[in-house]
Structure 1
Amino acid sequence: MFALSQLSVLERERLFKTLRINITHHSNAIEGLTLSFGETKTLLESGKTANNKPLDEQLVVLGFANAYDVIIREASDKSRILESSFIKDIHYLIFENAFKVMPHLVAKPIGAFRTNQAKIIGLQVKLTLPHLIAQELENLLFLYPSNALSLEQIAYFHISFEKVHPFSDGNGRTGRLIMTYQAIQNDFIPPLIINEQRKAYLELLEQCQMQNDITAFTLFLQECQAQSLALISSK
């Protein structure tokens, strides 16, 4: 059962509340942030920071959770089709806190597309040139309107978005939040990609980007949906 509509109102509320901590922790851990799950949970629930962890990381975690809240709220409006301006806003929210307090530690610009050529070390995938980012993203958003997608199309969008790589930093985190938005708009359980799946996730992304085949990544997202459901079925 991977349809949100098959959950009761209380179950949906519990799922979104639980995913707030889990998605925030795991999505940032995938990118190398060092907070443990327990430290993330404490930070989000009580505002208490971890003494032995970098402040900029904790500010990003708080920003990510704020962005998640916006995603959940806005995705409930099925008529709101995802636009590039909204994607920029989500990116800005993730890094807003850290940028205000420790701007020297944040890749810039935030909330705007990169202007430099990017390359992911160790990967063969060629990323979009800076002057083509805006148009390629608009094409993607036009071809795949966020409120009328299958899981396969959500998978394809994510693979394509990560290849466009529109921002200087935070592309994975922004892309996974977009995937949550698209899932909710289309009555799917949002997939939870955990840090322990990092290697498999990144390898699948590269494989699908190189081969233009989304089958394996779609199956992976189904596994991640089951992980999301397990968070509330175990309670």
Structure 2
Amino acid sequence: MSIQEQLKQILAEAKWSQDDLAHRLDVAPKTLSFWITGKTEPRDKHLKRIQDIYFDIVGRTEVDRVYLDDLKKKAEATHLDLKELLNNEELLKIATLYLTYHTNNIEGSTMTIDDVATVLDDENAVIANKSYREQAEARNHRTAFLFLLDQLKIEGKNFKWSSGLILETHKRLMNSLLDDAGNYRKYGVRVLGSSIARANHISVPQKIDDLVAYMNTPTDDIIERLAKTHAIFELIHPFGDGNGRTGRLIMFTQAMQYGIVPPLVLKERKRAYYKYLENADKTENYDLLSMFIAESVLSTDKLLR
């Protein structure tokens, strides 16, 4: 793929303007425009940066084991204590805002980060050019997120995952948006753009129980635990709607449970994220998804610090 094609695909997938991408490449917008049209070619240092951004956005097909192990060590060396998060009002506000904004945008919300901040800051605020559903999704997501953190705080070291906890999380997330919020689906589903079949609805309760049992076992590989849990949960697809958001909330809380900085899945990386999930579901190899989660932990650490 030519550099021109890579640049165009970055813009299309990340939904950035040329000014946004130029800023990330530390070049003038006019220079970027010349690269896109083929009037000039980037120098080596910019070629490397373009390819790095391209793989971040579109995704890789393989990962070097040494690189992955080093990345996982760095991610697992981060630290965010639950008390620190809950006792720091500004830190909690930022974490809630960015998690809510990105996770809902991945699912198609058109709300800007300022829109999300407005509805989270004021329960009575109504944004005229945004749907009721989008605004309710933002408030519901915060409710579900704080519910999980509260459960983690109450139980402390005795915290255990359960199917009931997952159902209660989904109930809060999809309150007033889904008739069967907080209940497993009783029908088949297909995921748009995926060729992989989801679990038969009859088997969902048992599969979730099996997953919960796995989540509650000790591990020496936190990043792979997050990756495998997330991939299996999304493959089961236990609910009629809200599976992605519930799964990302579980992953965030799992990270907090282990005391590391939680991974924030950025909306700009949606293409890579789905690619790695699909790969994990097809191959039962979690290396690429683990790489993505470790990278997301490190990017969240930069954001929060």
Aligned residues: 224
Q: Which residue of 1 aligns with 2:302?
A: 230
Aligned to 1:220: 292
2:103 maps to which residue? 27
Letter in 1 for 2:152: A
1:167 is the counterpart of 2:239:
yes
Query: Offset of 1:147 from its aligned partner?
Result: 7.3
Match of 1:194? 266
Matches within 5 A, 1:82-121: 82-96=161-175, 99=176, 106-121=177-192
Cα distance in 2 for partners of 1:27, 1:141 equals 23
Give the percent of matched residue pairs that are identical in Structure 1 and Structure 2.
27
Deviates more, 1:22-31 or 1:44-53: 44-53
Q: Which residue of 2 aligns with 1:18?
A: 94
C-alpha distance in 2, partners of 1:169/1:42? 25
Q: CA RMSD in A?
A: 2.0
Aligned to 1:210: 282
Deviation at 1:182, TM superposition (A): 0.8
Question: Match for 2:173: what amino acid?
Answer: I
- 2:207 pairs with one of 136, 160, 174: 136
Q: Does 1:56 align with 2:133?
A: yes
1:73 matched to 2:150? The reply is yes
TM-score (norm 2): 0.69
Contact persistence 1:15–1:228 (CA under 8 A): no
Kept in 1, the 8 Å contact 2:226–2:254? The answer is: yes
Could you give the per-residue CA deviations for residues 102-149 of structure 1, whole angstroms, max 9, x where no partner exists?
Answer: xxxx34311000000111122111100000000011011112217757
Shift of 1:57: 1.3
**Compared with structure 1, are the counterparts of its residues 232 and 12 closer, same or farther at alpha carbon in structure 2 (3 Å cutoff)?**
farther
TM-score scaled by length of structure 1: 0.89
Alpha-carbon separation, structure 2, partners of 1:181 and 1:169: 20
Would you say the 8 A contact 1:82–1:141 is kept in 2?
yes
Contact 1:160 1:209 in 2 (8 A): yes
* 1:151 alignment counterpart: 223
| Superposition deviation, residue 82 in structure 1 | 0.8
Unaligned runs of 5+ in 2: 1-76
Kindly report structure 1 stretches of 4+ aligned residues shifted beyond 4 Å. Answer: 146-149
Distance in 1 (CA, whole Å) between partners of 2:259 and 2:107 is 28
TM-fit CA distance, 1:42: 1.3
- The 8 Å contact of residues 40 and 61 in structure 1, kept in 2 or not, is answered as yes
Which is worse superposed, 73-82 or 134-143? 73-82
Letter in 2 for 1:63: N
Question: Which secondary structure state, in structure 1, belongs to the residue aligned with residue 246 of structure 2?
Answer: helix
**Contact 2:95-2:304 at 8 Å conserved across structures:** no
Aligned to 2:169, the other structure's residue is in SS state helix
Deviation at 1:181, TM superposition (A): 1.3
Asked if 2 retains the 8 angstrom alpha-carbon contact of 1:67 and 1:93, the reply is yes
State which structure, 1 or 2, has the greater radius of gyration over its C-alpha atoms.
2
- Aligned 8 A contact 2:161 2:215 in 1: no
Structure 1, unaligned stretches of length 5 or more? Answer: 100-105
The answer on whether the counterparts of 2:276 and 2:288 sit within 8 Å (CA) in structure 1 is yes
Structure 1 residue aligned with 2:252, among 155, 161, 180?
180
Q: Which amino acid aligns with 1:88?
A: L
Q: Aligned equivalents of 2:173 and 2:206: distance in 1?
A: 23
